[in-house]
Chains A and B, each alone.
Chain A
Amino acid sequence: MVLGGLLLYPIYQLGLISFFHYTQAQVSGGQPATFEGFGNYREIFSDAQFWQVLLATVVFAAACVVSTLSVGCALAVLLTRVRALPRLALMLAALGAWATPAVTGSTVWLLLFDPDFGPVNRMLGLGDHSWTYGRLSAFLLVLLEVVWCSFPFVMVTVYAGIRAVPAEVLEAAELDGASQLRVWRSVLAPMLRPILVVVTIQSVIWDFKVFTQIYVMTNGGGIAGQNLTLNVYAYQQAFASSQYSLGSAIGIVMLLILLAVTLVYLRLLRRQGEEL
């Protein structure tokens, strides 16, 4: 209960702050906080940069989710097709990537793609092309890192799920003369659906909130904020420009978006007759 409070109270306060005018002066107690109603929201919504950041966030998160899921699922299937040794190798490598802390992973990828000292540019013969300079290539770099550190979760989970499908079911399908494709579509896909649901929801939540990677790799949002996502934008508004109330309002907007996505998803699930 106490811990629930620890989580709910800040959300409540976040909502509260988002309605006030709250900057450095109010934090130190110099001025009383003034109630602004939806003023902060009006300010955000009329800010062109906010919409640009929102669009970037959605596209970036969607790209991350899609690539993570497809890489993870493909490798999970691959894992079921190979013998023990390659399987162990791939599993260990994936666990290594998974275990790498986000800060560490970001710095290592930066070094790999470093224009002067990185091996990737040498291998591809790109000279001293800077990956973090262009908007798209910087996003691509972060995307690669995010996929690298988050596909193992998908892979291991889906693999465990495939393994959990009883062998008799597959045998029965084979005896009934089902083709590989048919087995996939009619046997495995329905049995794996709960797993895929969990994995997708988690990926959406995580990838929408990518913070450390963007913050470290693009040095706080890239040149002139070109690589900002909502999360980093909120943080920058709050802590770099001391606009705590604006940051809070952005946080609330993010929360609402994620909530909407998830509710739509759950609604779809329930319509298909699945219980929460």
Chain B
Amino acid sequence: MYGNVVQAGRGVRGVRRFVRRPWRLAAEVSALLIAAVVAFPLYWMVLSAFKPAGEIESTEPRPWTSAPSLDSFRRVFGQQEFGRYFLNSLVVACSVVIVSALIAFLAATAVTRFRFRFRTTLLIMFLMAQMVPVEALTIPLFFLMRDFGQLNTLGALILPHIAFSLPFAIWMLRGFVKAVPEALEEAAYIDGASRSRFLWQILFPLVFPGLVATSVFSFISAWNDFLFAKSFIISDTSQSTLPMALLVFYKPDDPDWGGVMAASTVMTIPVLVFFVLVQRRLVSGLGGAVKD
């Protein structure tokens, strides 16, 4: 009797598994297919970068290349001071990430943990600040930079980027700071921790995944930026950044596809490396950010 019930249970479960399996298989196949479609443009980019010139500009594009060549890369790196542009981009992106992460952390703590007048107003301002079309702000910013004497320096790129990445960073970090129970803060104070000690030794490590997630955004926006670089670095080419170098190869009428793709590959790789490094933390980080 008892055995029968178990048997029946197994039978039902077996049937259910059988019914469920084709679904999962279909889901997995489609997931792989979609992954292939999503990755295809990137694959094509790298492929085109390695194709010899004649093969890119062929009317019979093939998804492989028989004679990979480094010609395009050589052309890109042979371009004036490409390494320097790369370094400039890296300097800008890294300083933006570090400075904005620190400020965003402090600001997010302030708006979550303290109640003060205009707190809600401030929060709405952060949201509002993200809506400002950066392109339109380039005009007044240009005059501002000119008055500060910052034109043609990397500072002219770093400062506005920090300012523009902060609102989003603070907005996202809020959720993380909120998720840390206030009881923990009280416990720390009772144990005799000072406010700054609580901030740096307890809150900071707890919020770190969130900081990583927000850093991704500031890194990308600083790394990708083309507009500020174009508008604020007008004459001193030694202060130029990567996107500007990329555009040398891209002429709307007759683009040098090999060069563009090689430069694009070089430009994309650091971001990819950064992403793969933080991937785990990013997923947990974004999950936490929105659990407020």
Chain B positions within 8 Å of A, measured between CB atoms, are 23-24, 27-28, 30-32, 34-36, 38-42, 44-45, 48, 56-61, 63, 103, 120, 123-124, 127-141, 143-144, 159-160, 162-164, 166-167, 220, 223-224, 226-227, 243, 246-247, 250, 252, 255, 257, 260-261, 264, 267-268, 271-272, 274-276, 279, 282-292
Q: Cβ of A156: which chain B residues have Cβ within 8 Å of it? A: 282-283, 286
Contacts known (A3-B166, A164-B287); A255 close to B35, Cβ less than 8 A: no
Residue of A87, A95, A235 with most partner-chain B CB within 10 A: A95
CB closest residue in chain B, given A80: B27
A90 close to B31 (CB less than 8 A):
yes
Contacts known (A90-B31, A102-B224); A234 close to B136, Cβ less than 8 A: yes
Quote the shortest CB–CB distance from A162 to chain B (angstroms).
9
Contacts known (A92-B35, A94-B38); A99 close to B163, Cβ less than 8 A: no
A89 close to B58 (CB less than 8 A):
no
Q: Does A129 contact B (CB under 8 A)?
A: no
A117 to B245, CA, bound (A): 23
A238 close to B139 (CB less than 8 A):
yes
B27 close to A81 (CB less than 8 A):
yes
Count of A-B residue pairs with CB < 8 Å: 248
A79 close to B45 (CB less than 8 A):
no
A117 close to B57 (CB less than 8 A):
yes
A-B contact pairs, 8 of them (CB 8 A): A17-B140, A90-B32, A90-B34, A92-B39, A101-B220, A103-B243, A122-B60, A160-B286
B267 close to A7 (CB less than 8 A):
no
Chain A positions within 8 Å of B, measured between CB atoms, are 3, 6-7, 9-11, 13-14, 17, 75, 78-79, 81-83, 86-87, 89-105, 107-109, 111-112, 116-119, 122, 148, 156-157, 159-161, 163-164, 194-195, 198-199, 201, 205, 208-209, 211-212, 216, 219, 230-232, 234-235, 238-239, 244, 247-248, 250-252, 254-255, 258-259, 262, 266, 276
Q: Cβ of B257: which chain A residues have Cβ within 8 Å of it? A: 111, 117
The one of A100, A107, A160 in contact with B284, judged by C-beta atoms closer than 8 angstroms, is A160
A247 close to B139 (CB less than 8 A):
yes
Contacts known (A99-B268, A119-B61, A194-B292); A14 close to B28, Cβ less than 8 A: no
Quote the shortest CB–CB distance from B292 to chain A (angstroms).
6
Contacts known (A96-B42, A99-B271, A255-B131); A86 close to B103, Cβ less than 8 A: no
Q: Cβ of A211: which chain B residues have Cβ within 8 Å of it? A: 133-135, 227
Could you list 4 further interchain pairs (A-B, Cβ under 8 angstroms) beyond the known A3-B162, A108-B45?
A9-B144, A99-B271, A107-B255, A208-B131
B279 close to A82 (CB less than 8 A):
no
Q: Cβ of A266: which chain B residues have Cβ within 8 Å of it? A: 124
Q: Cβ of B160: which chain A residues have Cβ within 8 Å of it? A: 6
CB closest residue in chain B, given A111: B257
CB closest residue in chain A, given B168: A202
Quote the shortest CB–CB distance from A23 to chain B (angstroms).
12
Quote the shortest CB–CB distance from B224 to chain A (angstroms).
4
Quote the shortest CB–CB distance from A89 to chain B (angstroms).
4
Residue of A97, A100, A248 with most partner-chain B CB within 10 A: A100
CB closest residue in chain A, given B246: A103
The one of A100, A198, A254 in contact with B136, judged by C-beta atoms closer than 8 angstroms, is A254
